Structure 1
């Protein structure tokens, strides 16, 4: 009985020993080579239009068994490429998120749209806060056409002519840093062909100003514009109505009565007296 128990204990000891050796062997052996790869990711948030630099890129810590389509595996191949779609820190850098090589600003223009540049100063350009990626309204200050050709301050008007226009670039910079305003003398806007015509006409007939919008504000503004009278809140002048009196009907002309001088004599007939003229 005692021998049987000893044999059982010995067998269990051998089994546990083999299991311990197997576990140790598994951890001591080098891991098998993985079929996955490390892809290039952004180390920081990269805004639309920014060229990539070495400090913006690194190989991912994670190994991708199935890397995203268009991924890169070498940071050197991405240097100076322009970002078309903004990248967040840790996002894989793929070909779909990059502008075509040597395409410049034209690669950022939406299909069917145009880029047009307008000259501004530090006030008109919202003190430098109209940065690439922001949206602005375009205001023109001009004079209305008078019906009889006369010019008067009463005809001055300021009106929003274009709404929610995307700023593509300021001066020659297509990058964006919302914390650092830049005072520039030119702003490039993305517009439709029809809006380009309106903008070109507006800058030729008056003075342009930009109004910075909230990025999430999609509402349309229907404004009649501001004039000197609405600015000062003066009541509109009411012109006196001109009452046109109907013409009196023409009176028929009457010929003057011409009295003809006649000879008359009295006639006595019995007791009756009469007068006969001839």
Structure 2
């Protein structure tokens, strides 16, 4: 009898414990936002790479933390091209993919309205190999002034600013930080900048100037000449403020002579006249 009562109490405790766990689990599920299944990267991939079915997979993601533009159909991503590098387990969104039908390679990385142009560099011009994909550079040209100028002299001038480096040699990976000395650098420019850069490399020597990636401040300079470098030339004076032209004043009319008072005098046969 004793054991039967103890077993009964133990069975009741087990039943109540299971019921408490189930109720608590249901309460927690109701409190939480739940999860959604979205497409993530199954392996590390570089920008410009085409996605294959084995490179993507579905994964659970908190419903309240879904990335904007998250994708849910992995089959629809077959053949799409990445516009940025992704890591394993990273959510794939439309913002990270080139438009459907885009071929892989560098052309998928170029922004709309921009062009890619390659310039020849060396270990000095290429900032000792630190001009890597994803960094920004200024373009410096060293040339001579136009023929026919009264005083021809050499000048160094920054002609293009904040130009994105797309690739070095034939590599577009932006994950590396080690310097790489190469003989060619591909830059992303507008059509107008492409024309200026092509002219600059034909009239002088180009140099790349590495700049801070988050510094948008323009470097407005007059350029450096031999005179300014050696302190032989004075800096140009600040332009004087323009003064609004005033209409000329009309000429003053000639002043009329003051009236004079005259007195005549007669002395015998002589006469005289005095004026005041």
Normalising by structure 1, report the TM-score. Answer: 0.61
Partner of residue 16, structure 2: 19
How far did residue 111 of structure 1 move? Answer: 1.5
Partner of residue 40, structure 2: 40
Partner of residue 92, structure 1: 91
**Whole-angstrom distance in 1 between the partners of 2:158 and 2:14:** 85
Q: What SS does the aligned partner of 2:37 have?
A: coil
**Whole-angstrom distance in 1 between the partners of 2:214 and 2:176:** 15
Return the match for 2:228 from 220, 227, 230.
230
Partner of residue 191, structure 1: 189
**Whole-angstrom distance in 2 between the partners of 1:222 and 1:160:** 8
- Contact kept, 8 Å, 2:40 with 2:89, in 1: the verdict is no
When residues 140 and 14 of structure 1 are mapped into structure 2, their CA distance, relative to the original with a 3 A threshold, is: closer
- Contact kept, 8 Å, 1:141 with 1:156, in 2: the verdict is yes
Q: What SS does the aligned partner of 1:37 have?
A: strand
- Contact kept, 8 Å, 1:168 with 1:190, in 2: the verdict is yes
- Contact kept, 8 Å, 2:38 with 2:91, in 1: the verdict is no
Report whether the alignment pairs 1:163 with 2:178. Answer: no
- Structure showing greater radius of gyration is 1
- Contact kept, 8 Å, 2:70 with 2:91, in 1: the verdict is no
The 5-angstrom pairing of residues 100-249 of structure 1 reads 100=100, 101-147=102-148, 155-236=153-234
**Whole-angstrom distance in 1 between the partners of 2:15 and 2:142:** 90
**Whole-angstrom distance in 1 between the partners of 2:205 and 2:11:** 95
When residues 196 and 15 of structure 1 are mapped into structure 2, their CA distance, relative to the original with a 3 A threshold, is: same
When residues 84 and 230 of structure 1 are mapped into structure 2, their CA distance, relative to the original with a 3 A threshold, is: same
How far did residue 91 of structure 1 move? Answer: 2.7
Deviation track 1:107-157 (CA, whole Å, cap 9, x = no partner) reads 21121111111111121011111111110000001000243688x5xx111
Deviation track 1:221-271 (CA, whole Å, cap 9, x = no partner) reads 11111111111222459xxxxxxxxxxxxxxxxxxxxxxxxxxxxxxxxxx
The number of equivalent residue pairs is 213
Normalising by structure 2, report the TM-score. Answer: 0.62
Listed as ranges, the gaps of 5+ residues in structure 1 are 1-11, 28-33, 238-278
**Whole-angstrom distance in 2 between the partners of 1:48 and 1:159:** 33
Partner of residue 267, structure 2: none
When residues 234 and 23 of structure 1 are mapped into structure 2, their CA distance, relative to the original with a 3 A threshold, is: same
Listed as ranges, the gaps of 5+ residues in structure 2 are 1-8, 25-33, 236-276
